[in-house]
Amino acid sequence: MPQPSENPRATNPSESPEATGVDAPRASGRSAGNTTRMRHHCGRRANWLMQSAAIHCLPLAYFLAWFAALWFWLKDATARRSSMDYFRHIMPDARRRTIFLCSYLNVYHYAVALIDASAVLTGHAGAFDMRFPQRARLAEAAAAPGGLLILTAHVGAIEITAPRLATMVANRQIHFVMYQDMEDATEKFRSENWAALGGIHIINSIDPISASLKIAHALLAGDVVGMRADRRVSGRSIDVPILGHMAQLPQGPFMAAVATGATVVSAFTFRTGYRRYELTVSKPRQYIATDSSQRTEMMARACADFAADLSDAVRQHPLDWFNFYPFWQPVSTAQSSDTN
């Protein structure tokens, strides 16, 4: 069973962003250990160019993405090494050149996901074929009493199918936890242009304490909350095996599930072909703790279920997990780096 581990700095749960269900604000630079959070973008002009190409000539956007991906892959050594380390974990017997190729393709898939998200979220969803083979699971989860917590990851592009969720969870307010710094050119551009998210209420995680209260209030009110659960930035975490290797996931999303008694599903959106996407949904689950002594056990179980769902998804779509930092850094090293 996965075991919670604690960042020595987070002596009070309310001081830890992950303990309250959200990530800490993302830093623009590098930091040691698992606290790395990079902002991979080139600002307002680059996003405008990408969006324009996606809207007016999608094949051209895909073609230009080959060069943009190569530039990024060569320029960012941390992202490149982390991507290569990821493929060494899932393909231990692969040759070096195969690892290099998969790492580059991983970055290209990331570029394509950004391009397609730009097209869909600016109101051009009709140009894409979106499929929902497990729609019945989502309907079952939405029909359950109480809130619905949709856990996802930096896998594929959940934003592409997010606007369609409103049609599948009728009569429920949908919230999505996102980091939005309006002083950042990219965040401001997306806020101004991603009109398709207009029906979804964004819970901004730039203030973790405020965001945690909004998440809890929404779930207790019976609303739908979507959030990513695959990146630990700081604070409390849970050690869990992912793809056969120990990693740390943030405790917050699983604490939110247990504390509110919400129904939980794991959901991931993958590109399955040219202008084609598919949303996969796990079976609905609930993690009810009858007393405080069971909370740790229930959080560990929720984390283990999500880790298993994430591992299955990544095995099926290995090029579509966009974690360009040392995800599997040894737990002891990650913990010691937090105290330095």
Structure tokens at 19: 């303990």
pLDDT digits (tens, 9 = 90+) for 33-91: 333 344 555 556 666 777 777 777 888 899 999 999 999 999 999 999 999 999 999 99
pLDDT of residue 194: 61
Q: With a cut of 70, list the residues of the chain below it in pLDDT.
A: 1-47, 182, 184-198, 233-235, 329-340
pLDDT of residue 234: 66
pLDDT of residue 249: 95
Asked if residues 17 and 233 have their Cβ atoms less than 8 Å apart, the reply is yes
Residue 77, CB half-sphere, CA atoms under 13 Å: how many?
A: 1
pLDDT of residue 42: 56
pLDDT digits (tens, 9 = 90+) for 3-32: 554 443 333 333 334 334 554 444 333 333
